[in-house]
Structures are given as structure tokens and as C-alpha cells.
Amino acid sequence: MSAEYGGSVEQVHQAFTDEQYWLVRLGDSGADDATLDEMTVGDDGGIRVTTTQTLRADRLPAVVTQFHRGDLSFVRQEIWTPVDGGRSSGTVTGSIPGAPAGLSGTAVLAPAGSGSRMSFTATVEVRVPLVGGKIENFIGSQLVDLLIAEQRFTTVWIAENG
């Protein structure tokens, strides 16, 4: 997957170092509850962010409620390197506590046209017999929607706060 940003690599990376950016982004995520659990910006400009987003059980699709009872929380961690040579790379991991599901991925933020592009490769694994593949496909499609929404949010954030 990839997403185009209206801001430069440096501007996008700078947004990622701003706690207010994350709080507003999480508030705009559509989750019923969202928290910024950890945010560390190193002296070198490296970033580590951990968030938790929760959807109430009554909003979950049937394919998910077959393997998970109650509200569903998704814990996501992003680690971004400092900008070097006009690029930054990241790793993303995600888990659903109490569920046999996980996500891992890598991202590269690089110059593209007058802005930047994030290229993201992710692996989703759901260890549930028979329905695991259906759930993986559902999560994959949600990831595409999420990446687009986060790209739009970040582009607007940079325009308004850059």
C-alpha cells in the first residue's frame, strides 16, 4: 500500500513528533475509545508511539464476533527512524489482546513529487481455523481505509499547523 502526502518527509516526520497531532488523530479515528499509551522522541529524532483503539462489541462485524467476545481493542506501535538522506523508515506492529491475531509491517517515507509518499507493507495473521482467512481479508481492507484516512488527516494537519 502507499499514500501520498502534501507535506515533505521532514514535515510528516515532524508531525509524528507532536503529541497534539497524535491526540487529535486518535480522536478523529472513529474508535469508541482511543488512547496514546506511549510517545517517546529520541534526541536523534527517532520516534516510538503506542496507541490503543477500542471498538464496542455492537459495532463489530459478525466475522469478528465469531472469534472475539466483547469490545475489541487494537494496540498499535510505530517506531520511526530519524530522517536521513531525505527518508525515514518505520516498523508497525499491532495486536488484539486476548485474540489470536497480529499485524506486522514496514514503512518507508520518501520524497515524491512536491510532497512525500509512504510505502507500507504489512502482514496480517489470524490464527483461527476456517474463518482466519476471511478475518485477515477484512482487516486488510480496513488497513487500506485507515491508511487513506491517516494520510488525509496528516496532510490537513501539516497545512494547518506546519
Q: What is the DSSP letter of 157?
A: H
- Tell me the whole-structure pTM to 2 decimals: 0.88
Residues constituting the chain: 162
Which three cell numbers, joined as nine digits, stand for 37?
Answer: 499509551
Alpha-carbon distances of 142 from 24, 44, 59, 145, 158, rounded to whole Å? 20, 33, 14, 5, 24
> H/E element holding 111?
strand 101-112
Q: Looking at residues 109-125, what average pLDDT do you find?
A: 94
Q: What pLDDT, in 10s, does the model give residues 56-100? A: 989 887 877 777 788 989 999 999 999 999 999 999 999 989 888
Check residue 99 and give its pLDDT: 81
Burial of 48 (0-12, 13-18, 19+ CB in 10 A): middle
Query: What is residue 5's predicted lDDT score, i.e. its pLDDT?
Result: 93
Nearest-10 crossing angle of helices 132-161, 19-27: 130
Classify domain 2-161 by CATH number.
3.30.530.20
